Structure 1
Amino acid sequence: MASAARAGKAVAVLAMALWCVAGAQAQTPAGGPAVVDLAPVVVSGVQPGPGMWKVTGSDGHALWILGTVSPLPAKLDWRADEVQAVIASADEVLGPPGWTVDADIGVFRGLTLLPSAMKAAHDPQGRRLDEILPAALYARWLPLKQRYMGRDRGVEKDRPLVAAARLYGDALKSVGLGGSKPMTRVLEKAYKARGLKPVPTRVAIRVEDPRAALKEMRGSTLADAACFQRTLDVVEHQLPLLVERANAWAVGDTGALQHLAVQSQYDACVGAIADSEVGRRRGLAGVDQQAADKWVQMARAALGRNATTFAVVPVALLVQPGGYLARLEQAGFEVQAP
């Protein structure tokens, strides 16, 4: 029953804002020349992981930041000695930045919403992908679908954004990449040992009536062809780069992480949601900037009250021009790289 509840909540939220699609595709390397398909090798077993950024105030208070990436090697065993030591002495832990959908969906209510949620993942006009997408783009899709998804016919009924996310997830599995579980398992154990719960830093988009939101999403169209095309670009050419970045995190190559810490289809896919009529009405316009502002504000407050604070932040958000570290430096804090 617990798994059914989680599924119900996840799919219902997907139908309201499709945030899980955007989240699954975040932090993907972009740009540069095409990468040949060389069957990349993913590291496994015990690995040290990266070092941490240290942000220090004039009073000596320190904020230690672990830069994260996703996906990570599926079979990674993270030896997090340094991170565990910091958490063991931390006064407070900040949760990861970003945004989330806050909807009151219980176990049974989530199950009753499943049929509507599944419909919301499909094109509102009942069209299939070959009727929605330009012919050339659909021709690129077919061999990738066959390679990574086999004869899955149901995906042809999905919105392009949803179909792209499913393809991307299956492509990651094919090269030995998973989510962030190898990292989160270690962190959660360390938090529990210290008796700390991460302080939420995400911007919450409140949905008062999930059923009405589902109905609204079912009838809404999304300009998601760019999201679909960009995802195909990544699957066709950049899986080796994803493996390279995941390996860099696992072995602690911070220099490589900063070089690869750029975003790709995330902007196109989130933009398809946030810039839609339903997204604007639900408060998603400019949500990434809201999330950045909230996290920096909470980090500064934590530095003021705690001798030691620990936080996790995607590397891309930390090191990009005008990113989180640059904003903390501008506020007068000293930043020390790993």
Structure 2
Amino acid sequence: MLFNKFKFGVAIFFLSVLSAVLAAQEPATVTESTPASSGNEVEEVLVVGEQPGPSMWRVYKGEHVLWILGTISPLPKNMQWHSKQVETVVANSQEFLLPPRVRMEVGFWSKMSLLPSLIGVKHNPDGKKLVDILPPEIYARWATLKEKYIGKDTDIEKNRPIFVATELFKKSIDKSDMAPDDSIRWAIENIVRVHNIKTTKPTLMHELKNARATVKKFKKSSVDDTECFARTIERLETDLGAMRVRANAWAKGDLETLRNLPYHNEREDCETAVLNSEIAQDLGMQNLKQVLKEQWLAAAELALANNESTFAMLPMAEIYKSDGYLAALAAKGYSIEHPE
């Protein structure tokens, strides 16, 4: 998460959703999906033990290089990532460039006044439940997946669809022996600490002056997140097997499979629901993704100018997009060397 208990920012009700939809459900490629086949396929057996992961992209101009490790999530739960190549590059770099992030600043007294209003912040307005706001066909499919992955949790029925979608996704990958890619980041950050390497976090700062009023408004406002919920349901119904294939492919460094395997892109619908919400508009965040991209690109260019070697991590989706981060660097005149 981008915050802790006493760094609320838009905090529990906004950034938790935003961080989830922008990061937690990272697709591996940017191709459109084809429907999955029936459930009669042999389930992909996830790799275990030490795995190398993929090779890195090399962005360079002259003698200065930006090495980029592409990431996906989820990954095999019982995999231990170890790449001598990446370790060597990180250890010999002068800077570690993180993906961009949002940080909200809230004054001390605003934090104190905010606490009581956070109760029930994930709930649907007017006490409605999922059964009241979802189309019957979508609700029936949700009920099936809920029973399989969450169980008898009645409280979750009070929550907004976008929060429920995030929770369902997390539970489903956990029960499918997969996990977020946190362990990769932790391993990299440990090397960075050991070698005392400069860390750069491109950050969009935003001061929230009246946090309590913003929370109250959010609790009464609607978010058009039904499509996000429906697409998440669809992905979990048809794409879990492909997720396991992707997870294995990343672990073994099989970039050809990652490039060619289709997926259900529910992420765009979830991003749209958040960034088109009334709260996002009030905070001036409609163009958040573009602003974050520009901040990262500026930091990358500065690092390339100042360092012989810089190391960065980016989602595979951004690496493969025709208008993604690497495409933007190529348009600025940098050479891009793709891993084999």
Asked if 1:231 is matched to 2:223, the reply is: no
Match for residue 97 of structure 2 among 72, 94, 99: 94
- Which deviations, in whole Å up to 9, do the C-alpha atoms of 1:59-117 show, x marking residues without a partner? 211110001111122222111211110111111111113x32323488x9879856533
CA distance in 1, matches of 2:263, 2:297: 20
- 2: CA distance, partners of 1:185 / 1:198: 14
Residue pair 1:8, 1:113 contacting (<8 A) in 2 also: no
Q: Equivalent residue for 2:164?
A: 163
Distance 2:157 2:231 in 1: 18
1:6 CA displacement: 3.4
- Which residue in the other structure is 2:72 paired with? 69
Are the aligned partners of 2:242 and 2:263 in contact in 1 as well (CA < 8 Å)? no
Instruction: State the identity as a percent.
Output: 32
Given the alignment of the two structures, is residue 33 of structure 1 paired with residue 35 of structure 2, yes or no?
yes
TM-score, normalised on structure 2? 0.89
- Structure 1 residue identity aligned to 2:219: R
The residue that corresponds to 1:6 in the other structure is 4
Structure 1 residue 269, shift from structure 2 partner: 1.0
Taking structure 1 as the reference length, the TM-score comes to 0.90
Q: Which amino acid aligns with 2:290?
A: Q
Give the AA of the match of 2:257.
Answer: A
Given that residues 66 and 312 in structure 1 are in contact (C-alpha distance below 8 angstroms), is that contact kept between their aligned partners in structure 2? yes
Return the match for 1:84 from 83, 87, 100.
87
| Pairing of 1:1-338 with structure 2 (within 5 A) | 6=4, 13-17=11-15, 18-22=17-21, 23-27=23-27, 31-37=33-39, 38=41, 39-57=43-61, 59-97=62-100, 99-104=101-106, 113=114, 116-260=117-261, 264-338=265-339
Please report how far the alpha carbon of residue 167 of structure 1 lies from its aligned counterpart in structure 2 after TM superposition. 0.9
Task: Quote the RMSD (CA, aligned, Å).
Answer: 2.4
Range moving further from structure 2, 243-252 or 293-302: 293-302
Q: Report the Cα offset of residue 41 of structure 1.
A: 2.2
Shift of 1:201: 1.7
Whole-angstrom distance in 2 between the partners of 1:73 and 1:7: 29
- C-alpha contact 1:16 1:214 (8 A) present in aligned 2: no
**C-alpha separation in 2, matches of 1:195 and 1:259:** 38
**Bigger CA drift: 244-253 or 19-28?**
19-28
User: Contact 1:15 / 1:118 at 8 angstroms: preserved in 2?
Assistant: no
Q: Which is further off, 211-220 or 21-30?
A: 21-30
Aligned partner of residue 104 in structure 2, secondary structure: strand
* Change in CA separation of 1:161 and 1:253 when aligned onto 2, cut-off 3 Å: same
CA contact 2:27–2:72 (8 Å) conserved in 1: yes
Of stretches 28-37 and 140-149 in structure 1, the one that deviates more from structure 2 is 28-37
CA distance in 2, matches of 1:105, 1:183: 34
Asked whether the 8 Å contact 2:9–2:104 carries over to 1, the reply is no
Residue 244 and residue 117 in structure 1: after superposition, are their counterparts in 2 closer, same or farther (change >3 A)?
farther
Shift of residue 211, structure 1, vs aligned partner: 2.6
Residues 233 and 199 of structure 1, relative CA distance in 2, 3 Å threshold = same
Aligned partners of 1:26 and 1:263 also within 8 Å: no
**CA distance in 1: counterparts of 2:212 and 2:68, whole angstroms:** 39
Count the aligned residue pairs: 331
How far, CA to CA, are the matches of 2:10 and 2:334 in structure 1?
A: 41
The 1:70/1:205 distance shift into structure 2, 3 A limit, reads farther
Structure 1 residues 45 and 7 mapped into 2: Cα distance closer, same or farther (>3 Å)?
Answer: farther
Distance in 2 of aligned mates of 1:298 and 1:156: 42
Distance 2:240 2:113 in 1: 38
Q: Distance in 2 between matches of 1:263 and 1:204?
A: 32
Cα pair 2:33 2:264 within 8 Å, conserved: no
**The residue matched to 1:96 in structure 2 has which SS?**
coil
Instruction: Indicate the structure with greater helix content.
Output: 1
